[in-house]
């Protein structure tokens, strides 16, 4: 989650192991908060005024006057995409406090084309020059529906109007403006069948019925299903067919510990590229030959981190760049045109990360994002032929870059010798300060990672004078197989020790005031929060649990039905409720509430499909039985994290007051 709401770590793990082409699916996650005015003192002594003036001049108080809402409110314009013909752009803009799609046509005023009032849409893309497709769930249930917007008629159609059914994109069929390949679990909640859907009529045609164990499907460049990946929960089998409609044959079976993820086909549709850790610790990009059943060649590998992403030019039929992440995002480009394009764009934006986020079919008009850790930056429309950049929008102009704090990559050693990478954000103007109040912020997942980026949540905390420590504890993705496997059956064990070791490191560095350290996290980070205040209660002054797991037994019983095929591997990674009963009981915070000494704030969405509301209810009820007051906020129209703007405002407002009470 990117409050971690980007993608839940378990979903990210599934994608990491079973991904097919999903290149049109870019899920946006917004974060928000609200402003509580700072109380003004009626009188200030001369010494206090001197200190305050010095603080202002040094920049340490520069961001303190920025309202909370400004850190978290929806951008006026964001998520830009260019139409296939390159003449129009679409973007998201708030209407009735919800993100809606707006289209900008040449010579015409901007036109809002959706009227969503209940919940932000989760992502959208163009299908032809006169149609947009978007996805949205209901109150956080994550049963995403697929909608089509006809720009000529202005009509919107729910393409998957099936209660309790989740729609996923299999192939966006970039050369076919009228159809999509999608998967639905409407026949069986636990498995997904593939359908071809007509965007004009809404007609669904069954393309492939799931025999029962297929976790993902892969298509060739013509949109034909050629790959199916089966799982028995522990072992994954890659199935392949040489021709569309032919019989699938087995290519390989791997244990879930091994990563072999087909990405896309070579341009003759005879081989395919994959992210593979077979015979390696760090995943590499390889070309695989189904005829021989062997890896044909290695495309790109690194010794320090996994390489999991690969892009290609649909027009020129060449692979372009591979993606990876060290302490910052990186790319390695293979063809001269891509290298030249990125070099040219980078020359326009020194000091910024530059990404191409959308392009037209002719690949001569692109949406370019320029950003860094202090700003979400600006978006431009780039014309390749004229080498001209046209500003589309500054995403958050009300958050001046010079008032934001730097997100510094850090490293420390765990008590058993692992290198733990992370990030430390110190309040602006307090980079050399000692004994600061600190918020320790373990990420969600847990098979996910924190990244160097603009994080409004972290920036908000820093603006209020609190340092923020984020760590990629063992199990965090991108650091290789051994580091990932080191997390197995270590929820609340060595994974939690990595968090504690980060606190100890920060205290020894002199940065943290050991009496003013709080812990806060969402999803698995919420579990780590509860685990922290039960396992090492002496470390934390206060704690905030955001949709966190409290009981590993009940958590595994209430997972969404489409996670159940992976339950056996979950048992190997976390623990089996029968075979590892004592371990799971020891690692479940709800059974150790008697150890909790810290004030606790709990936030929960009532319709959360991943971490059932019962997880929060249990920890709150157990503490109340001990006579301990717990601040508990539940939103009835939310799921795994608060998406609706007013709910996010309430959540971050409560956090601000809570941290002020215990850290200031």
Q: CA 474, CA 482: separation in Å to the nearest integer?
A: 9
Burial 183-195 (b: 16+ CB within 10 A, else e): bbbbeeeebbbbb
Burial of 47 (0-12, 13-18, 19+ CB in 10 A): exposed
Phi, psi (degrees; rounded to nearest 5) at 493: -105, -115
Query: Which residues does the chain have with pLDDT short of 70?
Result: 1-64
pLDDT score at 141? 87
Q: CA 5, CA 123: separation in Å to the nearest integer?
A: 13
| Tens-digit pLDDT profile for residues 483-517 | 999 999 999 999 999 999 999 999 999 999 999 99
Q: CA 98, CA 100: separation in Å to the nearest integer?
A: 6
Asked if 640 is an active-site residue, the reply is yes
pLDDT score at 346? 96
CB atoms within 10 A of CB 364: 14
pLDDT score at 11? 32
pLDDT score at 565? 83
Select which of 83, 608, 643, 662 is catalytic.
608
What single string gives the DSSP state of each residue in 257-283?
TS-EEEEEE-TTSSSEEEEE-TT-SS-
Burial of 596 (0-12, 13-18, 19+ CB in 10 A): buried
pLDDT score at 65? 85
- pTM of the shown model: 0.88
Q: Which residue has the tokens 């460049």?
A: 221
Select which of 4, 640, 643, 662 is catalytic.
640
Q: Are 89 and 97 in contact (CB under 8 A)?
A: no
pLDDT score at 26? 28
Q: Are 63 and 643 in contact (CB under 8 A)?
A: no
Residue 230 pairs with which residues in a beta bridge?
214, 237
pLDDT score at 63? 63
pLDDT score at 64? 65
Asked if 523 is an active-site residue, the reply is yes
Burial 142-162 (b: 16+ CB within 10 A, else e): bbbbbbbbebeeeebeebbee
Select which of 19, 275, 523, 588 is catalytic.
523
Q: Which two tokens stand for residue 494?
A: 């060595």
| Tens-digit pLDDT profile for residues 586-604 | 999 999 999 999 999 999 9
**Looking at 43-190, which runs of residues are DSSP E strands?**
78-82, 89-95, 98-104, 111-112, 123-126, 131-136, 145-150, 156-158, 167-171, 179-188
pLDDT score at 169? 95
């Amino acid at each position: 989650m990117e409050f971690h709401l980007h993608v839940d770590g378990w979903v990210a793990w599934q994608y990491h192991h079973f991904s097919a082409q999903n290149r049109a699916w870019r899920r946006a996650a917004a974060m928000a908060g609200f402003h509580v005015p700072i109380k003004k003192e009626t009188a200030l002594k001369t010494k206090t005024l001197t200190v305050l003036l010095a603080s202002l001049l040094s920049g340490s108080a520069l961001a303190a006057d920025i309202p909370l809402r400004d850190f978290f409110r929806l951008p006026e314009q964001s998520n830009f995409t260019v139409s296939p013909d390159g003449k129009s752009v679409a973007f998201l803009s708030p209407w009735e406090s919800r993100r809606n799609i707006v289209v900008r046509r040449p010579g015409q005023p901007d036109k809002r084309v959706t009227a969503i009032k209940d919940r932000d849409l989760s992502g959208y893309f163009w299908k032809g020059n006169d149609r947009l497709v978007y996805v949205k769930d209901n109150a956080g249930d994550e049963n995403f529906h697929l909608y089509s917007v006809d720009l000529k008629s202005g009509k919107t159609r729910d393409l998957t109007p099936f209660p309790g059914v989740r729609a996923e994109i299999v192939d966006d069929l970039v050369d076919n403006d009228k159809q999509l390949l999608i998967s639905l679990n409407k026949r069986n909640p636990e498995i997904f069948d593939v359908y071809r859907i007509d965007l004009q009529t809404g007609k669904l045609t069954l393309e492939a019925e799931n025999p029962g164990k297929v976790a993902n499907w892969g298509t060739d460049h013509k949109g034909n299903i050629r790959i199916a990946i089966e799982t028995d929960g522990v072992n994954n089998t890659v199935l392949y067919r040489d021709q569309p409609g032919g019989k699938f044959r087995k290519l390989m079976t791997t244990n879930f510990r091994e990563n072999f993820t087909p990405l896309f086909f070579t341009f003759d549709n005879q081989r395919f590229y994959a992210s593979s850790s077979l015979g390696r610790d760090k995943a590499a990009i390889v070309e695989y030959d189904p005829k021989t059943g062997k890896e044909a060649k290695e495309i790109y590998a690194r010794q320090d981190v996994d390489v999991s992403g690969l892009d290609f030019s649909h027009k020129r039929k060449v692979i372009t760049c591979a993606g990876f992440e060290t302490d910052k995002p990186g790319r390695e480009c293979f063809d001269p045109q891509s290298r030249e394009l990125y070099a040219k764009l980078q020359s326009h934006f020194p000091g910024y990360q530059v990404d191409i986020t959308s392009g037209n079919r002719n690949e001569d008009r692109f949406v370019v994002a320029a950003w860094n850790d202090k700003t979400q930056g600006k978006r431009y429309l780039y014309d390749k032929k004229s080498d001209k950049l046209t500003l589309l929008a500054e995403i958050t102009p009300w958050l001046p870059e010079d008032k934001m704090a730097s997100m510094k990559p850090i490293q420390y050693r765990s008590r058993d010798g692992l290198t733990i990478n992370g990030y430390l954000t110190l309040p602006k103007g307090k980079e050399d300060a000692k004994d600061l109040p600190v918020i320790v912020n373990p990420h969600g997942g847990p098979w996910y990672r924190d990244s160097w980026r603009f994080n409004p949540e972290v920036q908000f905390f820093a603006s209020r004078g609190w340092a923020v420590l984020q760590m990629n504890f063992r199990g965090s993705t991108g650091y290789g197989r051994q580091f990932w496997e080191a997390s197995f059956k270590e929820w609340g064990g060595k994974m939690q020790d990595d968090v504690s070791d980060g606190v100890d490191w920060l205290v020894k560095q002199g940065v943290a005031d050991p009496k003013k350290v709080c812990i806060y996290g969402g999803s698995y980070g919420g579990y780590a929060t509860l685990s922290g205040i039960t396992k090492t209660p002496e470390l934390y002054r206060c704690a905030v649990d955001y949709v966190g797991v409290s009981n590993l037994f009940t958590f595994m019983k209430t997972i969404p039905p489409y996670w159940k095929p992976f339950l056996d591997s979950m048992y190997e990674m976390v623990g089996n409720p029968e075979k590892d009963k004592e371990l799971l009981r020891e690692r479940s915070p709800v059974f150790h509430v008697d150890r909790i000494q810290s004030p606790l704030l709990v936030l929960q969405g009532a319709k959360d499909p991943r971490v059932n509301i019962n997880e929060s209810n249990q920890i709150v009820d157990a503490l109340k039985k001990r006579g301990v007051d717990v601040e508990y906020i539940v939103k009835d129209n939310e799921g795994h994290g608060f998406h609706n703007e007013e709910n996010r405002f309430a959540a971050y407002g409560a956090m601000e007051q809570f941290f002020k009470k215990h850290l200031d």
